[in-house]
Structure 1
Amino acid sequence: MEGTSRTEKTECTETRPSTRSSLCMRLTAPRTSRHLFPRAGYGESDPNPGRNVKSEALDIEELADQLELGQKFHVLGVSMGGYSVWGCLQYIPHRLAGATLVVPVINYWWPSFPAELSRQTFKKLIVPEQRTLWIAHNAPYLLYLWMTQKWLPSSAAAMHHPEIFSKHDMEVIQKMMATPRIIENKSRQQGIYESIHRDLLVAFGNWEFDPMNVTNPFHTNEGAVHIWQGYEDRLVLVELQRYISKKLPWIQYHEVPQGGHMFMLVDGWTDKIIKTLLVGEEASPI
């Protein structure tokens, strides 16, 4: 789902399915309201040329204070929004009542990944996606040129290439496309460089920390961290997600057997995931 949001009125419109480039963050005050947080450069949020994982976490903290969500709040990040949750776990763990990452983006260059596992998993991506992520990490100054050239296919995610969608994803897309679009999609009104391109640069650049060194913010079980992963996801691959869950056993890992990258958009799954975050009731698999 692509979202446009005005945080001062906490309004959100969702107009079409998408992939990781445009999925945003959700903030939830314990047992109260929900607010969508569009990352800098999306919707009506001002672009931030210095955007990074830490600045995202601090922006979330500032927004939570402006919305008066209280000393602690829940965060939920989907797809690309997952790096914002990792940032919250690293930089503002004292503000969290709970955290959920749904098909969260994985950086293949996180240092704790075994080199061979990371290499083999990376090779499973379709070639245009491999090229795009390699450039974002190793030659970020070329990313704009690569994403705007017309000779070779660039990011499969940004172009909604059919090979990145599982059978289940395609069913979700067909169902959503049959729904009339009432509100014009404005999620990228700041331009693709300030939205999609910067997301790629942040998510696949060099991080200041390794997520697999993040410590449990809930030592007394006053909250929990969840990862939800679709087994059939072709965009965020299950092998590395499983490795993360083994390295961080305090994270509650949920694998959806037939779920693709968009399984959260199936009727009822969003509420089930949020309910698990808030009250600890685990949903049944698809």
Structure 2
Amino acid sequence: MGVVCLKLENNNCKVVYHGGRRSLSLYLVQCFGPFPCVRLARLSSLKMATGVNRKISAASARAHTRRAKKSNSLQLPSGILGTALAVLFIGFLAWGYQVIQPPPPKICGTPDGPPITAPRIKLRDGRYLAYKEHGVPKDAAKYKIIFVHGFDSCRHDASIANTLSPDVVEEMGIYIVSFDRPGYGESDPDPNRTPKSIALDIEELADQLVLGSKFYVVGFSMGGQVVWNCLKYIPHRLAGAVLVSPVVNFWWTGLPANLTAEAYGRQKLQDQWALRVAHYVPQLTYWWNTQRWFPISGVIAHSPHIFSDQDKELLPKLSNRKNYVAQVRQQGDYETVHRDLMIGFGNWEYSPLDLENPFPNNEAFVHLWQGDDDLMVPVTLQRYIAQSLPWIHYHELQGSGHLFGHADGMSDSLIKSLLSVK
């Protein structure tokens, strides 16, 4: 048996127990522990006898003290702790969801959107498509051409129309119409855009402008990729086609794995990652190309490494872009350059390598032009595509980069080859 005593130290009252039952010791330590000295008066008369005094070891006393300290700490019930963690997790998910969501586009003609300055047509689904006409009057034209602009561009970037010789235009009676692809310039965004939908947009543009039952299409870069869609979905409307430096999707079926791996490996690491994100997790395309922790797509950032030596020499010819470059992405980046990446490098329902000759009777011809020093589009893949499709008239230019179409006299050569091969 033992005795419980009270001891005053440093204005704190401590319980000291000597001997006795373990349960009694624990009970007293838990009940009294360290407490303010003001309570001493209430406990001064406390005496408890438990029989013969018995000493306990220092280790046992320390164990009692540790138990007292543990019992005085704040302990949350497991249910409350689990709920708190769940709330934090849900909050983190909500924050992450907000981060990856692009802002809504600023639609042209709306109160908060840019003004409408270009002529536009209303499409089948209610969207508007802006366009620009070049060359001779439409009614007097012998040849009617629809030009499809490239990545991060607009209807003003109609390279063949802007650089085509006036003499060629007049002599051959050429009419060219360029248009803003969905989301660019003053054309409404198309959140449901697919490779097929853009081809149908082009067909509807031709119908509403009354270009006739057949017309020509010329596309540059990402616009050249769109021409593949025209060959797939509206070949019966085409009088001929030209693809200029058309973008190649590394994930098209039919491309040899060793060639695509080699060509993909030649891309800068930042461009490899931008394409991976666009292909495998397109939902993160906006976040990836707006975050600042890692380098973004070099094409979106206009990084110098994407230009060949010839491209750099030709860049001054594009100086007039400063007059309208602000219009290109005026409705937002997501429905323009980001959407282009997701569509251009996404999963297609067909591969150009599987296309049959859309003009088996030679009633029309398809030309593909490519520079062998193009740092944006791998020439090795372009060669393979041309070799796989013998009905393609392939033109490879030595020492030329992605922008060779802006070189002096190049547009004349492109158009003459398109219109004279019969």
TM-score, normalisation: structure 1: 0.88
* Matching of residue 22 in structure 1 with residue 143 in structure 2: no
The within-5 A match list for 1:54-133 is 54-133=196-275
The within-5 A match list for 1:196-275 is 196-275=337-416
Q: Distance in 2 between matches of 1:82 and 1:33?
A: 19
Contact 2:373 2:398 in 1 (8 A): yes
Residues 250 and 19 of structure 1: CA distance in aligned 2, closer, same or farther (over 3 Å)? closer
* Matching of residue 11 in structure 1 with residue 132 in structure 2: yes
Residues 6 and 228 of structure 1: CA distance in aligned 2, closer, same or farther (over 3 Å)? farther
Q: Which residue of 2 aligns with 1:174?
A: 316
* Matching of residue 53 in structure 1 with residue 195 in structure 2: yes
Q: Distance in 2 between matches of 1:93 and 1:277?
A: 16
* Matching of residue 160 in structure 1 with residue 294 in structure 2: no
Q: CA RMSD in A?
A: 2.5
Q: Which residue of 2 aligns with 1:33?
A: 175
Q: Which residue of 1 aligns with 2:20?
A: none
Q: Distance in 1 between matches of 2:118 and 2:274?
A: 28
Q: CA deviation at 1:158?
A: 1.0
Q: Which residue of 2 aligns with 1:143?
A: 285
Query: 5+ unaligned residues in a row in structure 1: which ranges?
Result: 282-286
* Secondary structure at the counterpart of residue 240 of structure 2: strand
* Secondary structure at the counterpart of residue 301 of structure 2: coil
Q: CA deviation at 1:83?
A: 2.2
Q: CA deviation at 1:61?
A: 0.3
The residue type equivalent to 2:350 in the other structure is F
Q: CA deviation at 1:275?
A: 1.9
Q: CA deviation at 1:123?
A: 0.4
Q: CA deviation at 1:117?
A: 1.0
Q: Distance in 2 between matches of 1:19 and 1:225?
A: 18
* Secondary structure at the counterpart of residue 208 of structure 1: coil
Residues 10 and 201 of structure 1: CA distance in aligned 2, closer, same or farther (over 3 Å)? closer
**For 1:125-168, what per-residue CA distance to the aligned partner results, in whole angstroms no more than 9, with x for missing partners?**
11111110111001111111101001211110111111110000
Contact 1:42 1:187 in 2 (8 A): yes
* Secondary structure at the counterpart of residue 173 of structure 1: helix
* Secondary structure at the counterpart of residue 33 of structure 1: strand
Q: CA deviation at 1:169?
A: 0.3
Q: CA deviation at 1:116?
A: 1.3
Percent identical residues? 48
Which structure is higher in helix share?
2
Residues 87 and 250 of structure 1: CA distance in aligned 2, closer, same or farther (over 3 Å)? same
Q: Pick 1 or 2: higher relative contact order, CA cutoff 8 A, min separation 6.
A: 1
Q: Distance in 2 between matches of 1:10 and 1:111?
A: 34
**For 1:254-285, what per-residue CA distance to the aligned partner results, in whole angstroms no more than 9, with x for missing partners?**
0011110001011221232122112239xxxx
Q: Which residue of 2 aligns with 1:284?
A: none
The residue type equivalent to 1:69 in the other structure is L
Contact 2:221 2:247 in 1 (8 A): yes
Count how many residue pairs are aligned between Structure 1 and Structure 2. 272
